[in-house]
Amino acid sequence: MRIRAERGGVRFGWNGAFRHELEPGLRLPLDRHGVKKHGKRSHPEPFLSVERVVDNDLLFRFGVLCHTDDFVVVSLVVSIAARLDHGVSFLATTINGRRMTTQRTHDVVVIGGGSAGYAAARTARETGADVAIVDQGPLGGLCILRGCMPTKAILRSAEIAAVMRRAPEFGLSPVEVRASLPAIVDRKDRLVREFADYRIQQLRDPAFVLYEAPATFLSPYRLQVGSTCLSAKSFIIATGSVPREKVIPGLTETGCVTSDSLLDRREQPESLIVLGAGPVGLELAQFFARIGTPVTLVQRAPHVLSHLDADVGVALGQALAAEGLRVMTDTQALRVRRDGNKMAVSVMHKGKEELLTGDLVLNALGRAPNIAGLNLSAAQVTVDAGRVVVDAGMRTSQPHIFAVGDVTELHDVVHIAIQQGELAGWNACHPGDPPRHFDDRLAAEVIFTEPQVAAVGLTEKACRARGLSYLTGAYPFADHGKAMCLGSTQGFVKLMADRANGTVLGAEIVGPESGELIHELLAVMYYRGTVHDLLQIPHYHPTLAEIVTYPAESIVEQMRQS
């Protein structure tokens, strides 16, 4: 069967033997192979009839089918939808007393209603597109429900507890601090509920069509969503990530927890082993240590935060060790097993195998793209090592299918996922225009430990790897007046700048309020500013912010001497 759009209506034929105008009253006989050849004899059932045609809005109705598979009819109708230039609405009907799959068409279908997905949907809708959002729930997204917001809520409780224990340092009477994990979780839940309610309100805005069901691709242009089959001009995959499992033998089978489940735990563990020293592992390790749980942190690399420079990771590792955490670097976890009521982790530490035991083991070995069940092979979308491959315009191997956020594993942070979503939403609705590209030059991150860690742009080791001619300047918080007044003197600020002209290439901060301080450097980099510009910007005294001028001065002096 051929289906094509022609001026004056849609025509289709069977083996070239006949053509019919698609108009009200048209009755098409069907068999197991689709549309039967039209003849003078009476049409046996089953049949497909056209009920209404109004401004390219077509309503089909199916006759009672006796010998035709549901799949034949569904395939026929979806084929017509995929080839029409305009949207087609296919309403549910009944086949032999059973409700048939509903068919719907949109301009853009966004799979995932988290931060990246909502940004993509909002941007596409602003262009005037008919946008659908598919999310199997619970609505809210990773950041709100199991990521950024709940962790920051519980970390605040631990921060206050740590400050209270230091009361004598500031001339205050000592206080006994006791943490109540159920009360901390209750506070977190109240905040998360408020954040989630707001996001749900956004997703259920009448500007969008929201489908709350799992999604799986049937083809590059068809998506099964519950009992509904969606067709679209463009799809945007924004399904986020899930904790990595089966990285170590016994990790899953023994009941190791992930950050997803640990955030809801109301019983404080007697001891905790954390596998992995990335942002999630570090934040949760310090949280539990500060509320009274002995914590052992296991990291395979020579220092924590192995993707950043060594001096950054070493400084944070030393700060955590000073708080009482056991930080085991250069340590490989071999296997996990249960030992009675305890968990046992075999590790290779400094060339010797050692057995660690604890009440609970946290799997903080990273997250993986959440693409299980999407059937991306049917969509002919290229996947490499579990991640969806995209270009700078967030396009996959299928030009009309985009992917954003954690499924790409480019930068697993929310503000970048939002940027990617906005780019994909715009590109999806402007296929004839030059695509907008994602620029990772300003990629930034913050780890909310204490001291905090923040970075933007290139690290020093990235500058070396790229063969850049650069200079570095650093300055410690221990020699900074405002930090000394605050009693927060751990860490330093480090800048990387072009040797020739002083353009700021990147920055790393370990210290108080690093997550706030990094934004001045991000702004300077946005405008491609230099260390000279940093020195020209007035900085109030005494503030933490003025510390960035000292490494800038160091680099300027090095430029003068070279």
Burial of 4 per CB tally in 10 Å (0-12, 13-18, 19+) = exposed
Residue type, 447: I
User: What is each CA distance from 249 to 294, 334, 459, in whole angstroms?
Assistant: 24, 7, 34
Separation of alpha carbons 350 and 346, rounded Å: 13
Q: Rg (Cα) of the chain, in Å, rounded? A: 29
Is beta strand 387-388 parallel, antiparallel or unpaired with respect to 383-384? antiparallel
Determine the 3-state secondary structure of 218 from DSSP.
strand
DSSP alpha helix (H) spans, 343-475: 414-429, 460-465
Separation of alpha carbons 388 and 403, rounded Å: 7
SS (H, E, C) 490-532: CCEEEEEEECCCCEEEEEEEEECCHHHHHHHHHHHHHCCCEHH
Q: What are phi and psi of 481, to 5 degrees?
A: -55, -50
Nearest CA to 278 among 245, 251, 301, 254?
Answer: 301
Determine the 3-state secondary structure of 204 from DSSP.
coil
List strand residue ranges (DSSP E) for 214-341, in order. Answer: 215-219, 222-225, 228-237, 241-243, 272-275, 295-298, 326-328, 331-339
Residue recorded with tokens 């985009």: 402
Q: Token digits for 512?
A: 């108080």
Nearest CA to 422 among 127, 122, 206, 198?
Answer: 122
Nearest CA to 367 among 214, 282, 252, 245?
Answer: 245
Q: What amino acid positions are annotated as catalytic residues?
A: 541
Looking at the DSSP bridge assignments, the partners of residue 216 are 224
Determine the 3-state secondary structure of 236 from DSSP.
strand
Q: What are phi and psi of 328, to 5 degrees?
A: -105, 100
Angle formed by the axes of helices 181-203 and 115-126, nearest 10°: 20
